[in-house]
Amino acid sequence: MGPALSKIDREHPPQLAYGTAGFRCDATQLVIAMERVGMLAALRSRDRDGLKIGVMVTASHNPHRDNGVKIVDPTGAMLAQAWESKAEKVACCPESQLLETLASVAEGEAASASVVIGRDTRAHSRALSQRVRAGAEALGARVEDVGVVTTPQLHHCVRAANGFSPVVKGPLYGYADALVDAFEALLKTSPHKTGRPDSTVVVDCAGGVGAFGIHQLRRRLEERGLASVLSLRAANIVREAPLNHQCGAEHVQKQRLPPKNLSRRDLGAPNLRGCSVDGDADRLVYWFHGLSNFEIVDGDKIASLLAVFIARELAAAQPLIGTPSLGVVQTAYANGAAAAFLRERRVEVAFAKTGVKYVHHAAEAFDVGVYFEANGHGTVLVKEALRARLAQLDSEPGTGGRARLAVSRLHAVARLANQSVGDALADLLLVEAVLCLQQKSIAAWGALYDELPSRQLKQRVASRALLEPNATETRLVAPAALQAKIDALAASHKSGRAFVRPSGTEDVVRVYAEAATRRDADALALEVRRAVFDLAG
């Protein structure tokens, strides 16, 4: 892959930005950054008194030729923002200035440093993760390589290895066992004691690591006799499809097309639920065949399903836990109909800038914060104090009653939902448990509200940095002429809304359009893309 190590120009490393998903670009540009991230992780570990720091080598939903790297803090959270600029300094400085740059960011005094490394299934990920290891070891860190894992699994390993979540026996610090324990606890609260007629879910694994996770879950579900409730069938497993190519969550949600390689039996079967994860399995979208169309049940609808369920259980648990706050956080990509649906049900809706770290942070403002990007990245955050209260109440001998039942449900949700990051596998179990408790079909779920038709496109431009969005990334501050054109185009379609923003993970400008009809949404998106090409290309 790329130039031989000896040929790399160490005095002029590629100038990379630590974006919303870490460093991400063409894999050949990343060798030096990987070594330096290993070093930075060692320094961060010393800064955190020797606690373990995670490093995940992945470019998630990007094409296979790209790779990337993200750093995980000791609690399993994303790297503290104050350290992102340090990461950039260390990753991009000339080798001749490396020692002084490292010295300028190193404040920690702990004697030891410890780094946990994981990677996705990309062909170049192994070699790149070895560069991370070399960097960390060069600064004396102890390295644990957990191999090929999903991004959320790596977050879990770091959190658990540092003692921030209860230790469960099993591989990867009990990841799959902890999930299936919580899933089982949630199902036990169901009044319906038999299996489901539609227990099968086809999981499109995007040709990536999600397939391993699905395999681990399926085995445990079978061992516990839960296959009659949930039977997972993996499709597009590793090597069955090129990673993220015409399959996976990004393809399904952005192109609004079915994943490739699924048989007619899979796609046409009545009542069949399908879902797609992305290349590092932190996103999940569902799909099914409606009467005539391929229908997508996206992150907005996952948030709506979960928030309405949680709102009801919080109300029922009120005599025991009072009235904790509940909110849903969305981005500009959320369909206009989703917020209306939630507000009608008195669920508070907040908005954040696009990017996982922004939505996650905004969700922390609530006792129970549900966040999902439309692309399927999301989770349910439960504040520590509420979690502890639910755990304590749930452990007391039950007197039965609706409030006590609600406490058990909420406690199981808090255990099942990943508290660090969006997690396709955890979200899948959460959704399946709620559909099962509510005896809801995917068609009924998909019909919760009617979406405004939307379309997303991308356009390459000479420099996407020339596009300057406002704080919520819903409008451009510059170029003003382009924003004026977008406004005019949106106004020319019924219920038209459109915006463009530079992607933080790919070298493109993203175009989003929604309107009253499919034709209008598609036309508006094409017109706006043309304007980007004309005025910023």
**Residues in the site for ligand NG1, rule: CB under 6 A?**
20-21, 333, 354-356, 373, 375, 377, 503-506, 510
Phi, psi (deg, nearest 5) at residue 523: -65, -45
Q: Where are the beta strands (DSSP E) in 267-399?
A: 273-277, 284-289, 294-297, 326-330, 348-351, 368-372, 378-382
Distance, CA of 170 to chain centre: 24
Distances (CA, A) of 425 to 377, 403, 411, 429, 466: 11, 28, 18, 7, 38
Identify the residue among 47, 88, 282, 506 touching Zn ion (CB under 5 A). Answer: 282
Span from 130-138, 175-183, 236-244, 270-278 in contact with Zn ion (CB under 5 A)? 270-278
What are the catalytic residues? 60
Amino acid at 331: T
Residue nearest to Zn ion (CB): 60
Span from 54-62, 166-174, 354-362, 476-484 in contact with Zn ion (CB under 5 A)? 54-62
Does residue number 423 form part of the binding site for Zn ion (CB under 5 A)?
Answer: no
The binder of 36, among Zn ion, ligand NG1, none, by C-beta within 5 to 8 A per type, is none
Does residue number 280 form part of the binding site for Zn ion (CB under 5 A)?
Answer: yes
Identify the residue among 20, 29, 45, 60 touching Zn ion (CB under 5 A). Answer: 60
Binding residues for substrate: 373-375, 501-505, 510
Which residue, 459 or 505, has its beta carbon nearer to ligand NG1? 505
The binder of 236, among ligand NG1, Zn ion, none, by C-beta within 5 to 8 A per type, is none
**Total number of residues binding Zn ion (CB under 5 A)?**
4
Instruction: Give CA–CA dist 521/526, Å, rounded.
Output: 9
Tokens of 371: 């966040």
Span from 58-66, 76-84, 265-273, 509-517 in contact with Zn ion (CB under 5 A)? 58-66
Per the CB < 8 A criterion, the answer to whether 155 and 76 are in contact is yes
Does residue number 373 form part of the binding site for Zn ion (CB under 5 A)?
Answer: no
| Smallest separation, CB 79 to ligand NG1 (Å) | 13
Does residue number 506 form part of the binding site for Zn ion (CB under 5 A)?
Answer: no
Does residue number 266 form part of the binding site for Zn ion (CB under 5 A)?
Answer: no
Which residue, 155 or 220, has its beta carbon nearer to Zn ion? 155
**DSSP count for the chain of H helices, then E strands:** 19, 19
Residue 262: CB atoms within 10 A of its CB come to 18
Distances (CA, A) of 407 to 362, 395, 412, 433: 25, 10, 9, 16
| Smallest separation, CB 269 to ligand NG1 (Å) | 29
List beta partners, residue 274. Answer: 202, 287
Residue 319: CB atoms within 10 A of its CB come to 12
Binding residues: 60, 278, 280, 282, 373-375, 501-505, 510
Does residue number 278 form part of the binding site for Zn ion (CB under 5 A)?
Answer: yes
Letter string b/e over residues 470-482, b meaning 16 or more CB atoms within 10 A of that residue's CB: eeebbebeeeeeb
Which residue, 137 or 507, has its beta carbon nearer to ligand NG1? 507
| Smallest separation, CB 371 to Zn ion (Å) | 15
| Smallest separation, CB 349 to Zn ion (Å) | 24
Instruction: Give CA–CA dist 406/399, Å, rounded.
Output: 13
| Smallest separation, CB 227 to ligand NG1 (Å) | 32
Residue corresponding to tokens 């192994």? 126
Instruction: Give CA–CA dist 430/303, Å, rounded.
Output: 11
- Please count the CA atoms within 13 angstroms of the CA of 195 that sit on its side-chain side: 13
| Smallest separation, CB 283 to Zn ion (Å) | 5
Which residue, 277 or 368, has its beta carbon nearer to Zn ion? 277
Per the CB < 8 A criterion, the answer to whether 380 and 306 are in contact is yes
Residues within the interface to Zn ion (CB under 5 A): 60, 278, 280, 282
